[in-house]
Amino acid sequence: MLKTFSLQTRHHSDMIDVTEQIQAWINQQGIADGVIIVSSLHTTAGITVNENADPDVKTDFLRRLDEAYPWDHPKDQHIEGNTAAHLKTSTVGHAQTIVVAGGRLVLGTWQGIYFCEFDGPRSRMFHVKVMQ
């Protein structure tokens, strides 16, 4: 089973919590147990699992990525000018694997699934693939 989700990002860099959206779909489908793969369909947007309790974690996460991969590095040659976004996506990763048990995503107390925008704002998509 494969589901495509769409979203509109609002900022150049952002982390959008998609946990509840994915959980709602799992509930609608009646998925009790298995594994899901959440995958971004973009080279400048990734998927990560991280803390969803303190919003400062997202702020710090994005700031530190900006420090590691500055947007205006003088030696970048990519004609679109978004080399930093490609590097951030490769660092974060384009996909995450999450266990589903008893109809619930198996995540830690403070964990959420994030769509990470690194070159927005844009219309974006991500897939969720269920394996039972």
For residues 7 and 114, is the Cβ–Cβ distance under 8 A?
Answer: no
Q: Which CATH architecture has domain 2-131?
A: Sandwich (2.60)
Q: pLDDT exceeding 90 applies to what percent of the chain?
A: 90
For residues 14 and 80, is the Cβ–Cβ distance under 8 A?
Answer: no
For residues 111 and 49, is the Cβ–Cβ distance under 8 A?
Answer: yes
Alpha helices in 12-123 (DSSP H): 19-29, 55-68, 83-92
Give the three-state DSSP class for 48. strand
What pLDDT was estimated at residue 86? 94
**R_g over Cα of the chain:** 15
What pLDDT was estimated at residue 30? 96
CA distance 6 to 21: 11
Mean per-residue pLDDT, 65-71:
94
CA distance 91 to 43: 11
- From first CA to last CA, the distance across the chain in angstroms is 9
34: left (phi over 0), alpha (psi -120 to 50) or beta: left
Residue-wise pLDDT for 18-50, tens only, equals 999 999 999 999 999 999 999 999 999 999 999
- Residue with token string 């995540």: 107
pLDDT band at 73 (very low <50, low <70, confident <90, very high): confident
What pLDDT was estimated at residue 75? 77
